[in-house]
Chains A and B, each alone.
Chain A
Amino acid sequence: MSTDPIRPLGAEAGPVGDPGGRPAGTEPEAIRAAEAPRAEAAALADGEWHRLHPATPFLRGGVAFVAILGILVANFRDRLIDLAVGFEEKDPFDLLIERGWLLPVLGGAIVLVLLGVVGFYLSWRFNQFRVTDEVVEVRSGILFRTQRQARLDRIQGINLGRPLLARLFGAARLEISVAGQDANVRLAFLGSAAADTLRRDVLALASGAKRGGAPAVERARTGLLEQRVGELLAPELDPGEAPPESVVKIPPGRLIGSLLLTESTLILVLVLGVGIPWSLSVGSWYVLLGAFPALLGMGSLIVQRFTRTLRYSIAGTPNGVRVGYGLLSTSNQTIPPGRVHAIAVRQPLLWRAAGWWQITTNLASSGSGSGRGGATPATTLLPVGSRADVARVLALLHPALGDADPSLLETGLVGKGGTDGFVNAPRRARWLRPFSWRRTGFTLTGSALVLRRGAIWRSLILVPQARLQSVALVQGPLQRRLRLAGVHAHTVAGPVLPRLEVVDARTAVSLFDDLRTTAVTSGEADTTHRWNSPRTAS
Chain B
Amino acid sequence: MAERLEPVDGEWKRVSPKQVGVELAGSGVTVLLAVVLAVVTFLLGAGVMAAIFTAAALVALFATSLVPRRVRSYGYQLREDDLLFRRGLLFQRFVAIPYGRMQLIDINRGPLSRALGLSELKFVTAAAATNVTIPGLPEGEAEGLRDRLVGLAETRRVGL
Contact = CB atoms under 8 A, between A and B. Distances in A.
B126 A474 contact: no
Chief secondary structure at chain B's binding surface = loop
A520 B158 CA distance: 9
Contacts of B160: 154, 156, 179, 341, 364, 467, 492, 529
B44 interface: no
A153 B98 contact: no
Contacts of B100: 520, 523-524
Contacts of A524: 100, 156, 158
Nearest to A530: B159
Interface centre among A338, A483, A508, A538 (most CB of B within 10 A): A538
Interface stretch (A207-215, A414-422, A509-517): A509-517
Contact of A485 (B5, B8, B130): B5
Interface string B99-135: 0110000000000000000000000011111101000
B107 to A, nearest CB: 20
Contacts of A485: 5
Contacts of A508: 5
A528 B2 contact: no
Interface residues of A, number: 44
Interface in A497-535: 505, 508-509, 512-513, 515-517, 519-520, 523-524, 526, 528-529
A492 B127 contact: yes
Contacts of B157: 538
Interface string A143-163: 000000000011010000000
Contacts of B93: 472-474
B41 to A, nearest CB: 32
A471 B126 contact: no
Contacts of B92: 473-476, 480
B96 A469 contact: no
A352 B1 CA distance: 41
A387 interface: no
Chief secondary structure at chain A's binding surface = mixed
Contacts of B7: 473, 509, 512-513
A493 B98 contact: no
Contacts of B98: 468, 470, 516, 519-520, 523
Nearest to B96: A516
Given A338-B159, A490-B130, A480 B96 contact: no
Contact of B159 (A474, A483, A529): A529
Given A480-B1, A505-B5, A509-B5, A154 B159 contact: yes
A475 B91 contact: yes
A469 B102 CA distance: 8
A477 B2 contact: no
Given A469-B127, A469-B130, A471-B95, A516 B82 contact: yes
Contacts of A488: 129
Contacts of B82: 516, 519-520
B81 interface: yes
A469 B97 CA distance: 7
B156 A473 contact: no
A90 interface: no
A379 interface: no
Interface centre among A481, A515, A523, A538 (most CB of B within 10 A): A523
Interface centre among B4, B93, B94, B128 (most CB of A within 10 A): B94
A512 B95 CA distance: 9
Contacts of B1: 480-481
A476 B156 contact: no
A235 B38 CA distance: 69
A482 B3 CA distance: 11
Nearest to B100: A523
Contacts of A440: none
Nearest to B5: A475
Contacts of A490: 95, 125, 127, 129-130
Interface of B: 1-2, 4-5, 7-8, 81-82, 90-98, 100-101, 125-130, 132, 156-160
Given A480-B92, A490-B130, A505-B2, 5 more contacts: A468-B101, A473-B5, A474-B92, A480-B4, A538-B158
13 contacts: A338-B159, A341-B160, A472-B96, A475-B91, A476-B91, A490-B95, A505-B5, A519-B96, A519-B101, A524-B156, A526-B158, A529-B160, A538-B158
Closest 3 CB pairs of A and B: A469-B127, A490-B127, A529-B159
